Amino acid sequence: MDAAAARRGRSLIDVDQLTPAEVHWLLDTARSFEEVSRRAVKKVPALRGRTVVNLFFEPSTRTRISFELAAKRLSADVVNFAAAASSVVKGEALKDTVLTLQAMGVDALVVRHPCSGAPGVIDGWTDAAVINAGDGMHAHPTQALLDCYALIRRIGCLQDKRIAIVGDIMHSRVARSCIKAFTMLGAEVVLVAPPTLMPAGLPPETRFSYVLEDVLEDCDVFYLLRLQTERQEEGLIPSLREYAAAYQMDARRLGRARPHALVMHPGPINRGVEISAEVADGPRAVMLDQVTSGLAVRMAVLFMALGGKEGGDAESG
C-alpha cells in the first residue's frame, strides 16, 4: 500500500499525522488538480456522490470558500453549516450536531472551531472523515500545506531555506502547523515576536528573536501573522502604533532583506499593522498565490480524505 492509499478515508487534524512522503503525495496531487481550475468546465468526477459539510463555528473567507469550491470541483455535494443559523443557537450540543449530520450520511466534515482540539474530539464521534479547518490556537493543517505548495511553486523546494515567522506566534494555529510543515520539508524556521507574543516552552533548538532587524538580512521568506485579537488577553502590546513600528514589514525593511526574499501571510491581512500597503501590493508578496494554492491543495486533501472515486484517480475527468 502506498503512502496515499494508507491515508485515504482518514481524517486530517494536523500535519504531524502525515509523513513527508504523504505531504509530497498531497502536493503532487494538488499539482495535478490545479489544471482543473483552468478548464472552461472546472469539474472532475473524482468525488461524485460524496457529501461534504463545512462546519464552521468561526468566521472565514479563504478557508470556507476554497473548501466549498474544492469539493464542487471534485463533484461532491457540499453543504455549508453556519452555527448562527443552526440549532446551536437553541442550545444543541456539538456532539448532537455532529451525530445529526452523521445520521444524514455525510462523508466529510470540514471543521473550524474556536476551541483547540474540537476537530479531534469530533473525529471520535463520527465515521465521517474530519478535516481541521483551524481550531483555536492549535492547528491549521491545510493552511500549512498550501503555504508549502505556494512556496515550492515560487522557489523550487524548501530544503535549507530560512523562513522567519513574524508576529503573534503565541495565539497562532497557523504558526504551529507551519513550523511543523516547513521543518518537515527541510526549511529552518526562526520565530520573531515581542516577548509577550512568543509562546512559552519552545524546544531548546528553536531559533527566535524579539527584534525583526536581527533576521532581516538572512531570511528567504518572511511569513507575517496578524494580531489574533479574538484570542488575546488585553495588554500584550503597548499599542498598535508601537507594534507596527517594531514588527511591520514595510518597504524600508524589505529593502534591507535579501533581494529574492518573499513575503507571505495567511490572511486576513491588516494593512498598516503587520504589513504596509506598499509591501502587500508589491511583487514580493505571495498572498494571492497562497489563496490560489489553497484551492488545489484542499482538492487534494478532500480527495485523500474521501478516497477518491472508486477505481479513479486524481487525473480522472
Mark the segment that binds ligand CP (CB under 6 A) among 11-19, 24-32, 115-123, 263-271: 263-271
Q: Shortest distance, CB of residue 1 to ligand CP, whole angstroms?
A: 32
- Binder among 119, 141, 194, 266 for ligand CP (CB under 6 A): 266
- Alpha-carbon distance of 276 to 250, in angstroms, equals 5
CB 291 within 8 A of CB 16: no
- Alpha-carbon distance of 53 to 102, in angstroms, equals 10
Question: Closer CB to ligand CP, residue 266 or residue 308?
Answer: 266
Residue in the structure block whose three cell numbers are 511591520:
248
- Binder among 17, 32, 60, 209 for ligand CP (CB under 6 A): 60
- Alpha-carbon distance of 130 to 125, in angstroms, equals 10
List binders of ligand CP among 118-137 (CB under 6 A): 134
Mark the segment that binds ligand CP (CB under 6 A) among 58-66, 85-93, 102-110, 251-259: 58-66
Question: Closer CB to ligand CP, residue 80 or residue 102?
Answer: 80
172 binds ligand CP (CB under 6 A): no
- Alpha-carbon distance of 295 to 15, in angstroms, equals 17
Starting at the edge strand that comes first in sequence, how are the strands of the sheet with 108-113 ordered? 77-82, 51-56, 108-113, 129-135
Question: Closer CB to ligand CP, residue 25 or residue 57?
Answer: 57
Binding-site size, ligand CP (CB under 6 A)? 9
- Binder among 267, 270, 273, 292 for ligand CP (CB under 6 A): 267
- Binder among 13, 44, 52, 62 for ligand CP (CB under 6 A): 62
Q: Is 40 exposed, middle or buried (0-12, 13-18, 19+ CB in 10 A)?
A: exposed
- Alpha-carbon distance of 19 to 40, in angstroms, equals 35
Give 56's DSSP letter.
E
Question: Closer CB to ligand CP, residue 51 or residue 143?
Answer: 143
- Alpha-carbon distance of 66 to 296, in angstroms, equals 9
Q: Which residues bind ligand CP (CB under 6 A)?
A: 60-63, 134, 143, 266-268
